[in-house]
Amino acid sequence: MSENNASAKLSSARLNAPTDAFVEAFTASVEFDQRLYQHDIQGSIAHATMLEKQGILTATDRDDIIRGLEAIGESIAQGNFEWSIAQEDVHMNLEAALTESIGDAGKKLHTGRSRNDQVATDIRLWLRDEIEVVRDGILRLQQALLDLAEREADTILPGFTHLQTAQPITFGHHMMAWFEMLVRDRERFADCNRRLNVLPLGAAALAGTTYPIDRHYTAELLGFDRPSENSLDSVSDRDFAIEFAANASILMMHLSRFSEELIIWSSAQFGFIELSDSFCTGSSIMPQKKNPDVPELIRGKTGRIFGHLIGLLTLMKGQPLAYNKDNQEDKEPLFDTIDNLQGSLKVFAEMMPGVTCRKENMRNAAMKGFATATDLADYLVGRGMPFRDAHDVVGRAVAFGVAEGRDLSAMSLEELQGFSETIEADVFEVLTLEGSVAARNHIGGTAPAQVRAAIERARTAITQ
Ligand code: ARG
């Protein structure tokens, strides 16, 4: 990055003194917004194409501009481009390089345009592409979850409320709960892209331009649904960035919850699962350790993603119309959100096939917490007892079990009949873990048959 040549900055005839060197570096964004170069070139090519169609540029100038921009794009991709802080941002760097390579035609590219509508266009183009990558990452994770759910459709573990044993559930059912959260996430990003897909270019600095531009044509060239309605709103709107950050926050909140469960489940105290060694690390001092670093790090990264949402909201809250330099601060939070979101999704999807269920430990845990108590109550209700009375009978049976250190299924028929004469020998069918989960056999229930049906519906839905 070259830092010389401060006086060349924007070569503004209005300014008498060159920008102070520190101010120049402080206000420049090129170190990070160079990431937008491909989309800046894409927008400029569409703009030049439209200017020529409208008779504002000659065909020769247009062709020179397009060829020049493409060559610059290639030299950037090959790492041969020298970015200059004196040129402030990606937009000025590209325009200066273009003029240097093709001469005066390069100076005509900015006709009927401002960096204000240019940058608003660039970010939308860039984010639109990145959101599709995120949606793809969600899909991959969903597929990994479906495979795991299918593999473990019959595996039984205790389900919790208040982190206290509640009722037996199947591991497949639990995985499908995560899957459902991701269905909503994927929809939310598609929804965000629908609202984002509007062309700001043509708003120019803030009021529009005096040239006879065709914004519908530019919109069509860039794959936008339509040109934006209001020029002031176009250059200052960052709602789409906030909406994206909000969706990203909800997705990370989900990944963080998944991570938390993986961390708890892989602890020695729970021992429900084993994570593949390649997603864990050891300790430099404790030889026995196998730490679930990947889920922990994802849980940790959730904090900065929430931070970016608050940062963007705060960035916008005090801005009068229209464009303000504040908006330059929208990029780093967006870049960081994208990088961490895509990374987290990728590593999570890759981690899923290596999750091993320690089925014996899950079963033992389910047997410990009187997880089939509700099933006993339901059994009594099935024999005509009002639910509240059944609740009371089972409550007394559980209190006895706690005192004796025995599960309901480990009591004799006589012992159980001591709490209610309604109980008969067939009670033991509902007191087994298998009987308990199989009985919840309706759409949305934990029965293995329902889990398999849900997986099948999901596989069809995600391919559409
Ligand atoms: N680098 C600026 C940004 O990111 C581009 C727009 C600058 N516009 C201006 N009037 N200074 O927002």
Residues 154 and 130: beta-carbon distance below 8 Å: no
Q: Which CATH number applies to 368-453: 3.90.1170.50, 1.10.40.30, 3.30.390.30, 3.40.605.10? A: 1.10.40.30
CA-CA distances (angstroms) from residue 396 to 58, 59, 376, 401, 420? 91, 90, 12, 9, 10
Distances (CA, A) of 38 to 26, 71, 76, 312: 24, 12, 9, 24
**Cβ–ligand 1 contact at 110 (below 6 Å):** no
pLDDT the model gives residue 462: 93
Given a contact cutoff of 8 angstroms between Cβ atoms, the answer to whether 231 and 207 are in contact is yes
Low-confidence stretches of the chain (pLDDT beneath 70): 1-11
- What is the model's pLDDT at position 4? 44
Cβ of 119 closer than 6 Å to ligand 1, yes or no, is yes
Tens of pLDDT, residues 235-252: 999 999 999 999 999 999
| CA dist list (Å): 99 to 47, 55, 64, 106, 338 | 16, 21, 10, 4, 33
The model's pTM is: 0.94
Helix (H) or strand (E) holding 158: strand 156-161
pLDDT the model gives residue 6:
43
Cα angle 330, 336, 337; round to 5: 85
Q: Is 254 a catalytic residue?
A: no
Please name the fold of domain 18-111: Fumarase C; Chain B, domain 1 (1.10.275)
pLDDT confidence of residue 144: 98
State the architecture of 116-213+229-363 in CATH terms: Up-down Bundle (1.20)
- Residue in 12, 162, 412, 442 annotated catalytic: 162
CA–centroid distance, 440 to ligand 1, in Å, is 59
To the query of whether residue 39 is one of the catalytic residues in this protein, the response is: no
pLDDT of residue 11: 57
- For ligand 1, whether the C-beta of 29 sits within 6 Å is yes
Q: Residue 328 C-alpha to ligand 1 middle, in angstroms?
A: 6
Query: Domain ranges in the chain?
Result: 18-111, 116-213+229-363, 368-453
